[in-house]
Amino acid sequence: MSERAPGEVVDAVTSAFEAAFEAAPTGVWSAPGRVNLIGEHTDYNGGLCLPIALPHRTYAAVSRRDDDVLRMASAQQDGVVEVALDDISPERPGGWGSYVAGVLWALRRDGLPVGGLDVLVDSTVPLGAGLSSSAALECAVAAAASDLFDLDLLGTADGRARLAARCVEAENEIAGAPTGGMDQSASLLCDEAAALLLDCRSGETRQVPFDLDAAGYVLLVTDTRAEHALVDGQYAARRDACEAAARDLGVDTLREIDPSGLDAALEQLGSDEVRRRVRHVVTEIERVTQAVAALEAGDLGEVGRLFDASHASLRDDYEVSCDELDVATATARSQGALGARMTGGGFGGSCIAIVRAPEADAVADAIAAAFDEAGFTAPASFTVTASGPAHRDA
């Protein structure tokens, strides 16, 4: 993970753009990664989730072109990727460029007057850590396109939500990752010192105060460095199981299952595995509601308890945790964390823990020692604050 200051990254991405395209960019835009406090695998089930935007961002130096060609380069990759906008498909351009190209494809399909761009990207969002580096990339490019083509979508919550929806389509249909809408909504809509309560059925959002500093706590993120990929079929299999269960239960999404009717619903399902998947989703949506109430009441102890319950459900019912995530969360709890849970899609990635500010380094050291004893790759731990959404930087 890079510790570069925002101004330093803006200067670097500008210089890299000039080297790649032999001209200065029109501007630089950035969008944050996200940590989801609670509400995992609920977004594609019409549920609730509660992400915050990270201070770690993806930066895009961008200029408008006079044709319908997209040229892309990255500080993390060699070479320039080029594709005509009319040729964008799940096969072209492929790789990381699909996340960029998909945004322009989705905006054009929405009837918006978008043309070609030159794009150079750089990022301080840890890749493969489950912190939504892909959505940060999409949303930085979407913000640039909005400004450069005078779409005027950044000035209102509705406009930003429209951009988020196009970025979801880009990831689903061009990049081939069947994610829900939480990541892009967080990247475009989160406020500083707040978590975003996102209703994935109605699209409604609400800012929930989230300022651990005032209570003497911090949010410790641990990138387990375990392999993390959402396009290997495991994520899609969970989503397919939920959608099939909803059909069997005669509802549009699992959001329609009230917690009071969960047991009766589970009895109608044909396999233990599907029952576990449904139980996680229904109880996790309820945990989001409870976490919001606890945050608004200033009850961090209850938030921590909900973190622990969420992780257990993701581990046992949804089966998306891994040994590294389980060791990290258990170690954080043993060191006095109020609660700890995996965050993101799972199968690797990161976990979060609420810890007393003076104890953050000690907890991180204990997690590193536990990883060393288990023979795991050394993790990377860092504290984060709730930060702001996508915007123009220069």
Please write the tens of the pLDDT for every residue from 346-366.
Answer: 889 999 999 999 999 999 999
Q: What is the pLDDT of residue 2?
A: 46
Q: Is 169 exposed, middle or buried (0-12, 13-18, 19+ CB in 10 A)?
A: buried
Q: Which of 108, 32, 33 is nearest to 70 (CA)?
A: 108
**Could you give the 3-state DSSP secondary structure of residue 221?**
strand
From start to end of 150-202, where are the E strands? 194-199
pLDDT at 382 over 70: yes
User: pTM here?
Assistant: 0.93
Matching residue, tokens 């044909």: 270
Q: What is the pLDDT of residue 232?
A: 66
Q: What is the pLDDT of residue 213?
A: 92
pLDDT at 194 over 90: yes
Instruction: Supply the residues annotated as catalytic.
Output: 183
Q: What is the pLDDT of residue 1?
A: 42
Other beta carbons less than 10 A from residue 241's beta carbon: 18
pLDDT digit string, tens, across residues 248-258: 999 999 999 99
**Could you give the 3-state DSSP secondary structure of residue 197?**
strand
Taking each helix axis as running N to C, give the angle between helix 157-169 and helix 182-189, from 0 to 180 degrees, rounded to the nearest 10.
Answer: 140
pLDDT digit string, tens, across residues 208-249: 999 999 999 999 999 999 975 554 688 889 999 999 999 999
pLDDT at 333 over 90: yes
Confidence band, pLDDT 50/70/90 cuts, at residue 127: confident
Other beta carbons less than 10 A from residue 157's beta carbon: 10
Give the span between the Cα atoms of 128 and 150, in whole angstroms. 33
Mean pLDDT in residue range 111-138 = 94
Q: What is the pLDDT of residue 229?
A: 57
Q: What is the pLDDT of residue 228?
A: 59
Q: Which region among 9-13, 42-46, 345-349, 368-372 has the lowest average model confidence (pLDDT)?
A: 345-349
pLDDT digit string, tens, across residues 13-62: 999 999 999 999 999 999 999 999 999 999 999 999 999 999 999 999 99
Q: Cβ(178)–Cβ(26) under 8 Å?
A: no
Give the span between the Cα atoms of 228 and 226, in whole angstroms. 6
- Mean pLDDT, the chain, rounded, equals 95
